[in-house]
Amino acid sequence: MSPYAGPVQDLIDELGRLPGIGPKSAQRIAFHLLKLPTPDAQRLATAITEAKARVAFCQRCFNVCEGELCDICADPRRDGNLLCVVEEARDLVAVEKTGEFKGRYHVLQGAISPIEGIGPEQLRIKELLVRLDPEGVQEVIVCTNPNIEGEATAMYLARLLDPLGCRVTRLASGLPVGGDLEYADELTLGRAIEGRRTLDAS
Amino acid sequence: MSPYAGPVQDLIDELGRLPGIGPKSAQRIAFHLLKLPTPDAQRLATAITEAKARVAFCQRCFNVCEGELCDICADPRRDGNLLCVVEEARDLVAVEKTGEFKGRYHVLQGAISPIEGIGPEQLRIKELLVRLDPEGVQEVIVCTNPNIEGEATAMYLARLLDPLGCRVTRLASGLPVGGDLEYADELTLGRAIEGRRTLDAS
């Protein structure tokens, strides 16, 4: 039996479903929220509701955005020849922060991971393929994470895109192997973009 | 300038205010919520709203509860002679789980911490004092945390309650059950030696 009254336990349960929040953290956060003045706690609830109501995914690149197209896709000054493929919108933000990339993006919304049962068909790969010709993409820079899932996704994309006459490049080493793209500092990530290599699909 | 659209940044900011959630975790959780189906994310928002609307603090012991009195204060079978003073409601739950304590509780809602600017007047100490006589409390077990703030709070309570003819006890410090002597820190081991008990060989 749960030791807490219904609504308290409900709150702990919901918090515990968030990534990186264990049962103890969920409990700590729940009591923190209960002790907060109601308007302060309510701001978080409202932020969730608002974000879910107003934020959608860009129809073209699947970045988070408020309208149909995100700011980057809607910006005519971005170089349509270059397409940077990332796993998540937060990776896009990490690449943007380097200031090294002037092309457009495509957010896969994940990476191939047999362990988690995520195959290519769950990712936005179909949507990537239909963009290449109309947008005149010359080069796809695969900016997936330098870990197993990211590398597998990169290889899959290389094999898929190579026959289409599209140059496929991968971020240079310089990123610590086994790390997460979002935690890389701007300089390292910038260097990695500068030194990108052609992926050999043979 | 924030790299995210307004509602996304608002959500990240609000999540970042939670205890133990840094900026990177806040970002990760925000994108997790954005990717969730809306009803799933909305459940968290609703849980916060519900908890704030329905959960209050017990008028007597300041445990979290749904009505005026918590289940423990409302239970006539609990021993009114014994009062266990804890810092937070989650500590009360930890003590309850032991099944060793049959008395009542008093939740201070914090501990004395000059660094954080928390003095005795911010805690539920006045409310503790007015309970002692009417409830016929014989012994107050101070179950604050065994850290600087908790010890300071315990000392303060001992000085306050001693002249009132109330027995004030403190949880025993010592080695955790199942622990290894060689991994115990000096302070804990010192306390364990200090508080050694005669073994009854009968």
Q: In degrees to the nearest 10, what's the CA dihedral of B112, B154, B142, B124?
A: -30
Cβ pair B119, B112 in contact under 8 A = yes
What is the rounded CA–CA span in Å between residue A27 and residue A23? 6
Could you tell me the two tokens for B72? 């423990």
A6/B66 Cβ within 8 A: yes
Q: Which of A91-95, A115-119, A193-197, B112-116 comes out lowest in average pLDDT?
A: A193-197
> What's the pLDDT score for residue B202?
65
How far, CA to CA in Å, does B22 sit from each of A25, B6, B148? 13, 19, 25
Count of all residues that appear for chain A in the document:
202
> What's the pLDDT score for residue A42?
92
What pLDDT band is residue A1 in, cutting at 50, 70 and 90? very low
Query: Going along B60-182, which residue ranges are E strands?
Result: 64-65, 79-86, 103-107, 139-142, 167-170
Could you tell me the two tokens for B59? 């008028």
Q: What strand order describes the sheet that includes A79-86?
A: A103-107, A79-86, A139-142, A167-170, A197-198
Of A13, A29, A35, the CB nearest to B109: A35
Tell me: the pLDDT tens digits for B107-124?
999 999 989 899 999 999
> What's the pLDDT score for residue B1?
41
Supply the pTM of this predicted model.
Answer: 0.72
CB environment A133-147: b (16+ within 10 A), e (fewer): eeeebebbbbbbbbb
Count contacts between A and B (CB, < 8 Å).
Answer: 152
Cβ pair B79, B66 in contact under 8 A = no
Mean model confidence pLDDT for chain A: 87
How far apart are the CA of B2 and the nearest CA of chain A, in angstroms?
Answer: 10
Cβ neighbours of B71 in A, within 8 Å: 5
Interface test with B, best of A18, A36, A91 (most B CBs within 10 A): A18
How far apart are the CA of B102 and the nearest CA of chain A, in angstroms?
Answer: 15
Cβ pair B70, B128 in contact under 8 A = no
Strand B64-65 with B56-57, pairing: antiparallel
Domains and CATH numbers, chain B: 6-54 (1.10.8.420), 76-198 (3.40.1360.10)
Q: Which residues of chain B have pLDDT under 70?
A: 1-3, 5, 198-202
Residue type, B98: T
What pLDDT band is residue A177 in, cutting at 50, 70 and 90? low
What is the rounded CA–CA span in Å between residue A7 and residue B70? 14
What is the rounded CA–CA span in Å between residue A66 and residue A54? 6
Tell me: the pLDDT tens digits for A31-52?
999 988 999 999 999 999 999 9
What is the rounded CA–CA span in Å between residue B51 and residue A42? 10
Tell me: the pLDDT tens digits for B17-41?
999 999 889 999 999 999 889 999 9
> What's the pLDDT score for residue B191?
79
Tell me: the pLDDT tens digits for A76-87?
999 989 999 999
What pLDDT band is residue A3 in, cutting at 50, 70 and 90? low
How far apart are the CA of A86 and the nearest CA of chain B, in angstroms?
Answer: 14
Nearest of B132, B109, B107 to residue B122 by alpha carbon = B109
C-alpha radius of gyration, chain A, whole number: 20
How far, CA to CA in Å, does B155 sit from each of A66, A187, B36, B142? 55, 52, 49, 9
Residues paired with A155 in a beta bridge: none
